[in-house]
Chain A
């Protein structure tokens, strides 16, 4: 592991973990703590949901986030908002120009539409989210379109969009400061049918500083 993984991260490291390729992960991040996500090997989509720890019926809303900042891309300074319009986390810093929040998660079901029924049995982000949420008693009702860190979804003038080759690279990161106590739920994306993971899912590193 590179020694500069902590560069610029303020505070004391209270958690440091590798999330395996294709795996789910969830963690409580308290208000004021910073979560650094490192794209260890480069262009690995990290599907990301946020729930209020106090009341998990309040959760990340991509539409509230876009409407409040009047922009579809997540960049340094973007505030990640809840279904109630409240700030949940803020992007303090990122070495990647922009991240996606309109592409949602891959699922066994949507894979059949996007690529064909031969993909039905492949592992998916929705499976990871369902599994990670189940540990806290959340169910399919609690699913909502997520953030995709390190994923590139351009929208052209006529609305044409798609998941295209990434603009991240090995060792790049995003730093998120919690604005309330939250549970973050991650799927380290297992998709192998589009370039969101460079057709090769890889591990990512999660560091929490307080």
Chain B
């Protein structure tokens, strides 16, 4: 077609290549060592992943043992649903019930552990400035969002999980109960679940330490109990290399139950 910018293969190639260098808010930093605004003490060369997930966006990533993962609620209205698997044998995965029961508490925060269904710790929570999280209510789904389809403008977390897991050959049977970061649920005396949606200040963050090689899956969609008009803002994921947890680590030794979850990891890695 004469005059069109994409009428011939050469013109289409030129058109495609002219997009290079475009910057948007929700995109990965490539190479990750170009990431800006790193936490104090983190060397650029140690950064292994830096990506901002869109409102409604998702990601999955393999993290080696010792890696730190910082999730930042950039604008103050993110809600990040998270799944986690042992990367070596993904049939081992996050178990929310064991995570709560073993730690004798329903709430997550700094110093708490994320446990697998095999009696091992997957993540330690090193730092938490958000304080509002939820392990009870799970991922949003199409029931909560009428047009909450991946192809529409209001995706839900469950469908985002499906797309993320498919990249690893995993599917519906592998979507286990999740943890929701940045939106808080508290339990009232009669058992009622009470959601806190903010408004929150920008920049709240949670930093996790991978205690095994892990596949982490993130979906940034409104909380399942959030009855406001569909609203969610981008979240930034930044990960950097770090040493495996030493024997005298204060989180490792904080409780007898937690200590045994680290000992079970160390036992698993004896080879």
Contacts and interface: CB of A to CB of B under 8 A. Distances in A.
A161 B142 contact: no
Contacts, number: 137
Interface in A128-144: 139-144
B118 interface: yes
Interface residues on A, range: 35 or more
24 contacts: A57-B172, A64-B141, A70-B192, A71-B191, A71-B192, A84-B143, A85-B143, A102-B106, A102-B136, A107-B98, A109-B120, A110-B98, A110-B101, A112-B264, A113-B102, A113-B261, A116-B260, A117-B260, A141-B91, A141-B174, A155-B106, A159-B187, A161-B104, A163-B101
Interface of B: 91, 95-98, 100-102, 104-107, 115, 117-120, 136-139, 141-144, 158, 171-178, 186-187, 189-193, 224-225, 257-258, 260-261, 264
A9 to B, nearest CB: 27
Given A85-B144, A159-B105, 9 more contacts: A61-B138, A64-B141, A67-B225, A72-B136, A108-B119, A110-B98, A111-B119, A145-B97, A158-B105
B260 A145 contact: no
A63 B137 contact: yes
B96 A145 contact: yes
Interface of A: 57-58, 61-64, 66-68, 70-73, 83-85, 98, 102-105, 107-114, 116-117, 126, 139-145, 155, 157-163
Which of B105, B141, B173, B174 counts the most chain A CB atoms within 10 A?
Answer: B173
B233 to A, nearest CB: 22
A160 B191 contact: no
B104 A62 contact: no
A66 B224 CA distance: 11
